[in-house]
Structure 1
Amino acid sequence: MSKTNAGYFFEDYRVGQVIRHAVPRTVAEGERALYHMLYPARHALYSSDVFAADCGLESSPLDDLIAFHIVFGKTVPDVSLNAVANLGYAEGRWLAPVWPGDTLRSESEVIGLKQNSNGKSGVVYVRTTGLNQNDEPVLSYVRWVMVRKRDLDAPAPEMVVPELAKTVAAGDLTVPGGLDFTDYDFDLAGEPHRLGDYRVGEVIDHVDGVTIEEAEHMMATRLWQNTAKVHFDATHREDGKRLIYGGHVISMARALSFNGLANAQMIVALNGGAHANPCFAGDTVRAWSEVLDIAETDAPGVGAIRLRLVATKGAGEGLRGEDGKYLPHVLLDLDYWALMPV
């Protein structure tokens, strides 16, 4: 019997199955430095213990997307090692800050299965929860992945497609305990714009671009212990290219959004998202955001802003063509909630 792990194939999943993912990971302060080296991330709450303390927190937590990448990376050997594509996200909620010294692990429950008409692959829906050393959930999200079949003759499972909320309701957002933006320092944060300065429908061009480097994306993906073959093995694709991890594009676009959204400090929900087209080394990533909604919270001075974050590459304008499909220059379409001073 082979001792190596070939990963799960479509016929290996069952609705209701719970997978406890290896390997727990203790995160340290160096995680922040590496993250800020890989991406132009400058949000003040994640950069300064003093700024975070002035906002009511004990110190600066680790960037919200560090938590996402680590929790996501744990799931790859079990959920997406044999994936054709990562198709989407829904119902994502950040439930507690992650602090240096925390130990994170992941669990996933299979909540849906649908075999494709070609009989060669199928879509697997999982709800993943990231937990800390106290078994407290820090993050939860649903994603669906197209996974290859090992045995093309394996019978199709009963089709179960979960009903997923289109958005996380503003009332269900979790605001970290103690967060208080009453005495928020806009000078140190980098921009004067507060929640009331934004309007639903407003589009913000984040101006700057970053060219993706081969080595940097592989270092980032290793940092999250993401083992997906397409990100590392140039022989795994017919074109001989390494596919850039979609989360690398998310972090790059979020970091670029600082220019225009410096005060959208904490991501607290992921309503939906799609990796619209592949990204490869040499592509230059740019980003724009659209304001979708604005809401109040019960925390002093803290409001919530719902944003569509779109990452693009090369020339081209717009989001979708007349056929409803994403245009070739669109890399990412992400819908999320962030906390911002009112």
Structure 2
Amino acid sequence: MSNKTVAGNFFEDFEVGQELRHATPRTVTEGDLALYTALYGSRFALNSSDEFARQLGLGRAPVDDLLAFHLVFGKTVPDVSLNAVANLGYANGRFGVPLFPGDTVTTTSTVTGLKENSNGKTGVVYVNSVGTNQRREVVLDYTRWVMVNKRDHAAPAPETVVPELPESVPADGLSLPDHLDLSAYDTTLAGSPFRWDDYEVGEKIDHVDGMTIEEAEHMLATRLYQNTAKVHFDQYAANSGRFQRRLIYGGHIISLARALSFNGLANACKVLAINAGSHANPTFAGDTIYAYSEVLDTIELPGRTDAGALRVRLVATKDHPAGDFPLKGDDGRYDPAVVLDLDLTVALPR
């Protein structure tokens, strides 16, 4: 057989400081936005209505921040996580300029850490990925870490390097476009009367609604982002794996949880940061996703009187309506019903 195909990088192929220029720039289209809405049902007014966006100083409705995240993320998969066991977490994610239909996204990554696991068969790779538009403006800058298989179990372990990452993105690292003015924000059209100062630290919001995932939906979504990870598509390979089922891309759960959060956080019109996040347990077709948010902090945005930010813990559960059950047991492990524990910073009108 020809050797012109690419098997992807294994753990021993990575080096700290290595730079990866990811293939296939992606131009965002109106079709992407329509399909994203069809997949998740997101209803945030700023992303849904050109007229609503124009009232706030934008030329048209921007692309949903998490669609931008997926497009940036998807570019990295063939080089970073094609041979992954699991995507483990996120940190220090900062959203920059908004994306609009017609913009083209390109992604580059730098390996910032490596740690071989004790079994000698896998290791954890840390990468900092930066997505830019056609003007080389930063759309998203974030770190993730992923467990990757070794090709050769006898390959020597690299020196362990684990990058230091902040607990959250500080207020002066949050970017809200200067031309976005939330002082004219219409809460009636947005679907909720609650503004930034109506929320309190410690408040928990049950987003109430649930959404069941169909097999075709999660595969269609993952293909939309050109995410080529084998575990999401290849049932033949999955038959010999741990779960014997296709795993749902963790980002699919992030978008579902964010869409569900509209009921209670409808005016959280822009995601400013992904501070931290874990995919606590796997999800599969047929699972029903619920979500709740806990307000961790209220943040004054420097130089802005029209908007404030909330740091929220967005938790998604499967086949278990969100409630006050403990997220983790005495052993420190997540309850099997918890599938996502995500720390976000979002902007709201004041």
Q: How would you bin the TM-score normalised by the shorter chain?
A: over 0.9
Q: How far apart, CA to CA, are the structure 2 residues paired with 1:51 and 1:299?
A: 20
After superposition, residues 59-138 of structure 1 pair within 5 angstroms as: 59-138=60-139
* 8 Å Cα contact 1:52/1:60 also seen in 2: yes
Q: Where does residue 180 of structure 1 map in the other structure?
A: 181
Determine helix, strand or coil for the equivalent of 1:182: helix
After superposition, residues 208-219 of structure 1 pair within 5 angstroms as: 208-219=209-220
Q: How far apart, CA to CA, are the structure 2 residues paired with 1:198 and 1:108?
A: 36
Q: How far apart, CA to CA, are the structure 1 residues paired with 2:210 and 2:237?
A: 29
* 8 Å Cα contact 2:207/2:292 also seen in 1: yes
The one-letter code matched in structure 2 to 1:303 is: G
After superposition, residues 260-271 of structure 1 pair within 5 angstroms as: 260-271=264-275
Determine helix, strand or coil for the equivalent of 2:201: coil
After superposition, residues 47-58 of structure 1 pair within 5 angstroms as: 47-58=48-59
Aligned partner of 1:259 among 260, 263, 268: 263
Q: Is residue 2:314 matched to residue 1:309?
A: yes
Q: Where does residue 196 of structure 1 map in the other structure?
A: 197
TM-score (norm 2): 0.96
Q: Where does residue 335 of structure 2 map in the other structure?
A: 327
1:96-145 Cα distance to aligned partner (Å, 9 max, x none): 10011001011000000011111111100000000111122110100000
Q: How far apart, CA to CA, are the structure 2 residues paired with 1:198 and 1:294?
A: 8
After superposition, residues 33-52 of structure 1 pair within 5 angstroms as: 33-52=34-53
Deviates more, 1:53-62 or 1:97-106: 53-62
Q: Where does residue 245 of structure 1 map in the other structure?
A: 249
Runs of 4+ off more than 4 Å: none
Q: Where does residue 140 of structure 2 map in the other structure?
A: 139
1:201-245 Cα distance to aligned partner (Å, 9 max, x none): 000000000001000110000000000000001122334311000
* 8 Å Cα contact 1:113/1:157 also seen in 2: yes
TM-score (norm 1): 0.98
Pairwise CA distance, 1:31: 1.4
* 8 Å Cα contact 2:290/2:320 also seen in 1: no
Pairwise CA distance, 1:177: 2.2
Q: Where does residue 348 of structure 2 map in the other structure?
A: 340
1:27-82 Cα distance to aligned partner (Å, 9 max, x none): 11221111100002000000011111111212111100111001100000000000
The one-letter code matched in structure 2 to 1:335 is: D
* 8 Å Cα contact 1:179/1:299 also seen in 2: no
1:234-272 Cα distance to aligned partner (Å, 9 max, x none): 122334311000000000000000000000000010000
Q: How far apart, CA to CA, are the structure 1 residues paired with 2:136 and 2:349?
A: 31
Q: How far apart, CA to CA, are the structure 2 residues paired with 1:103 and 1:27?
A: 6
* 8 Å Cα contact 1:89/1:271 also seen in 2: yes
Pairwise CA distance, 1:300: 3.9
1:156-193 Cα distance to aligned partner (Å, 9 max, x none): 11111111111001221001121111121010000000
Q: How far apart, CA to CA, are the structure 1 residues paired with 2:304 and 2:53?
A: 15
Q: Where does residue 15 of structure 1 map in the other structure?
A: 16
Deviates more, 1:297-306 or 1:120-129: 297-306
Q: Where does residue 27 of structure 1 map in the other structure?
A: 28
Q: How far apart, CA to CA, are the structure 2 residues paired with 1:105 and 1:299?
A: 30
Q: How far apart, CA to CA, are the structure 2 residues paired with 1:228 and 1:340?
A: 35
The one-letter code matched in structure 1 to 2:63 is: L
The one-letter code matched in structure 2 to 1:324 is: G
Q: How far apart, CA to CA, are the structure 2 residues paired with 1:315 and 1:107?
A: 38
Deviates more, 1:214-223 or 1:318-327: 318-327
Pairwise CA distance, 1:322: 1.3
Pairwise CA distance, 1:147: 0.4
Q: Where does residue 167 of structure 2 map in the other structure?
A: 166
The one-letter code matched in structure 1 to 2:342 is: L
Determine helix, strand or coil for the equivalent of 2:23: strand
The one-letter code matched in structure 1 to 2:260 is: L
The one-letter code matched in structure 1 to 2:283 is: C
Q: How far apart, CA to CA, are the structure 2 residues paired with 1:325 and 1:117?
A: 19
The one-letter code matched in structure 2 to 1:265 is: C
Q: How far apart, CA to CA, are the structure 1 residues paired with 2:193 and 2:68?
A: 28
* 8 Å Cα contact 1:181/1:300 also seen in 2: no
Q: How far apart, CA to CA, are the structure 2 residues paired with 1:25 and 1:16?
A: 25
* 8 Å Cα contact 1:46/1:61 also seen in 2: yes
Percent of pairs with identical residues: 63
